[in-house]
Each structure stands twice: as structure tokens, then as C-alpha cells.
């Protein structure tokens, strides 16, 4: 195992390949760049960057169009009703994420470990079966689980989705069920790429399967755990579809399953007799963006920079 030395390799490669004649030609603007990159840059700017920046700009105005600076943020975070809803949504989002982190990753890893075991027949079938739900629409997943958990004609008599104590956790577990295939596949990819030499060396050293897993395989999987966690974080903090499909925009009972996505939906588009406010909606969206950004930055600076990558 050696740490990669990409920069050195790159220098050698480019140094060796630059004949003197091409330096003059290089100064000319590469027109084809425009053709190849142009559309992507234009589309990305118009449909991603501009709306993002514009919604941040929008959060600084009131509904009548007057500039209010950070007024909307102050209102959202200090008004007792609004701030209670907002922090409730943030908290629920974190719970939603915690369930994914603590349930989805270990199960994903377990499944991946089982699938790489040479003693399991029909591995490819299991792999496909576990992965299939991720390809389904959330609306279908929500619908199917609602039927299963339906106290009138389902298999569970307790109204798991109807009690404020269980609704959010149940929804999070539904989502785990759907998406567990993704960490599984990522972990699986790492596990199958571990060279046989390592495992053989471990065996020769007298390690049993349990020791081999924790001492050899697990450290190699760890960087992927980080990536999976950050992907899950972004997806969970942005979550909306499953909750909206199952519980509607009011995310009941009594806002027990209200997350930032549903709060944003209600604020921006309004609900029933409530008219939406695009500026307040933009404020909620901006805070969502900042929270996600904070989480991702924390990951990049606090975790990923310390993670070593290995070359087999």
C-alpha cells in the first residue's frame, strides 16, 4: 500500500509530451472548447447557478418587492411560531439523516460483505434484488409501504404512520429500505477490488474471517463510508418527495414529519387557503442551502482531507 503521488506523475507525463513547436500554437484560443464546454456551461449557469443566486437575492426582499436586507432571516429565526416550525423541521431532518446514517450504512456494509462471501449461492440475484428498490419511484415506494402498514388491510395493526412518535422514524426506514442498495453497491465495489494477495497474506498470518474483515477489509472501505455519508447527508437534507407523497404538505401528525423540504413547499407555494410567499420561501431555501453547505464543508475539511487513499 503506497499513497498515490498524482502530482508527480502528472508533471512527468506533460513534460515528456510537449514538443517545442506546439507552444506557439497553444496560445491560440481553442475554439472547439466553446463548442464542447459552451452548452454545458450555458445550461448549468442558466438553470443551476443563476436560480441559486437569484433565490438568495430574492430572500433579501419582501413580497411587495422592497429590499429588506436580512429582515426575512431575522423574522424566520425570531418569530416564535416560524422559528419553532423551522427548528422543528431542521431537527426532523437531522433525525431523518441519523436514521439513514446509523441504519443504512451498517446494513449496506453487511449486505456487501455477505455478497462478497464466496460461500453464498445466487449472489448476483440477491445483489439485483437489493438494488431494485432504488430504481423505483418514491411515490410507488410510499404507496406500497402505506398499503403494507395500513391498519385496515395491511399487515400492521399499529398506525405507525399516524402517530407523531413513530411517523418520522417509519418514513426514514421506508427510505432506508429503498436506498440501501446504493451504499451496498459502493461498498461491494470496494470489497471486490481488494486484491486477493492481501487476504491471502492475512490468512497466512493466521487471521480468521472476522479478523480479516475488521483488520483488512474495513479500513479499505472507510473512505467510501465518508463518501456515502456525505451523499446521504445532501440527499436527506434535501428530502421532500417521500414525505410529501405519504404525508402531504402538512407533514402530520402535528408536523411530526415536517422537514425543511415540506416547510419550504408550504412557505413558497402556500397551502390550501394560505397563499405562498416567494421571498419567505427563498429564505427557507437559502437556509437549507447553507445547512447543506456547512455539512459538506465540515466533511471535506474535517474528514476527507484526513482520509488516505490507497493504491493496490
Partner 1 sequence: MNRLRWGACAVGAALLLSACGEGTDPREDSGADGDQTGLVIESWRNDDLAIWEDVILPAFHEEHPDIQVSFEPSAPDDYNAALEARLEGGTAGDIITCRPFDVSLGLYDDGHLTDVTDLEGIDAFDEVAMSAWATDEGDEFFCVPTASVIHGFLYNAEIFDELDLDEPTTEEEFHDVLGAVADDGEYTPLVMGTADQWEAATMGLQNIGPNYWEGEEGRNRLVEGEESFDDSQYVEAFEELQSWSEYMPQGYESVQYPDAQNVFTLGDGAVFPTGSWEIALFNEQADFEMGAFGPPLPEGRDTCYISDHTDIGMGINAATDAPEEARIFLEWTATEEFADLYANALPGFYPLTEHEIEVEDPLAQEFLSLRDECESTIRNSYQFLSRGDPNLENQLWDLSAQLLNGEVEPQEAAEQAQEGLERWYEPQQ
Complex with partner 1: residue 232 or 262, whichever CB lies closer: 262
Q: Minimum distance between the CB of residue 98 and partner 1, rounded to whole angstroms? A: 23
Alpha carbon 212 to chain centroid, angstroms: 30
Complex with partner 1: residue 99 or 251, whichever CB lies closer: 251
Complex with partner 1: residue 149 or 191, whichever CB lies closer: 149
Q: Minimum distance between the CB of residue 192 and partner 1, rounded to whole angstroms? A: 40
Complex with partner 1: residue 71 or 276, whichever CB lies closer: 276
The label of the residue with cell 514538443 reads 19
Here the contacts of 278-283 (C-beta below 8 Å, separation 24 or greater) are 278/58, 278/63, 279/58, 279/59, 279/61, 279/62, 279/63, 279/72, 280/63, 280/72, 280/75, 280/76, 282/55, 282/56, 282/58, 282/59, 282/72, 283/59, 283/72, 283/73, 283/76
Q: Helices (DSSP H) in 100-240: which residue ranges?
A: 105-116, 123-131, 138-148, 167-179, 181-193, 196-204, 209-211, 218-237
Which phi and psi angles does 271 have, rounded to 5°? -155, 130
Q: Which residues bind partner 1 (CB under 8 A)?
A: 31-32, 34-36, 38-39, 81-82, 146, 149-153, 157-164, 247-248, 250, 252-255, 269-276
Complex with partner 1: residue 54 or 274, whichever CB lies closer: 274
Amino acid at each position: 500500500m503506497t499513497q498515490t503521488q498524482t502530482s508527480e506523475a502528472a508533471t512527468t507525463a506533460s513534460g515528456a509530451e510537449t514538443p517545442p513547436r506546439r507552444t506557439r500554437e497553444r496560445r491560440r484560443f481553442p475554439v472547439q472548447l466553446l463548442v464542447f464546454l459552451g452548452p454545458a456551461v450555458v445550461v448549468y449557469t442558466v438553470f443551476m447557478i443563476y436560480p441559486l443566486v437569484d433565490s438568495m437575492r430574492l430572500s433579501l426582499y419582501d413580497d411587495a418587492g422592497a429590499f429588506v436586507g436580512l429582515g426575512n432571516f431575522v423574522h424566520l429565526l425570531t418569530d416564535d411560531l416560524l422559528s419553532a416550525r423551522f427548528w422543528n423541521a431542521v431537527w426532523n431532518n437531522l433525525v431523518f439523516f441519523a436514521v439513514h446514517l446509523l441504519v443504512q450504512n451498517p446494513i449496506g456494509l453487511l449486505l456487501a460483505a455477505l455478497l462478497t462471501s464466496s460461500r453464498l449461492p445466487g449472489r448476483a440475484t440477491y445483489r439485483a434484488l437489493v438494488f431494485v428498490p432504488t430504481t423505483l419511484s418514491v411515490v410507488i415506494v410510499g404507496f406500497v409501504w402505506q398499503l403494507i402498514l395500513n391498519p385496515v388491510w395491511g399487515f400492521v395493526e399499529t398506525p405507525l404512520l399516524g402517530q407523531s412518535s413513530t411517523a418520522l422514524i417509519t418514513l426514514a426506514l421506508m427510505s432506508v429500505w429503498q436506498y440501501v442498495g446504493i451504499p451496498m453497491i459502493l461498498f461491494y465495489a470496494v470489497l471486490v477490488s481488494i486484491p486477493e494477495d492481501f487476504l491471502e497474506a492475512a490468512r497466512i498470518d493466521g487471521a480468521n474471517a472476522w479478523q480479516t474483515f475488521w483488520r483488512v477489509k474495513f479500513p479499505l472501505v472507510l473512505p467510501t463510508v465518508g463518501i456515502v455519508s456525505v451523499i446521504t447527508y445532501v440527499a436527506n437534507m434535501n428530502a421532500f418527495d417521500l414525505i410529501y407523497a405519504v404525508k402531504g404538505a402538512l407533514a402530520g401528525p402535528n408536523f411530526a414529519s415536517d422537514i425543511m423540504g415540506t416547510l419550504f413547499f408550504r412557505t413558497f407555494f402556500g397551502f390550501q387557503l394560505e397563499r405562498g410567499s416567494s421571498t419567505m420561501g427563498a429564505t427557507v431555501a437559502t437556509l437549507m442551502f447553507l445547512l447543506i453547505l456547512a455539512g459538506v464543508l465540515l466533511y471535506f475539511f474535517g474528514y476527507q482531507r484526513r482520509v488516505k487513499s490507497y493504491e493496490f
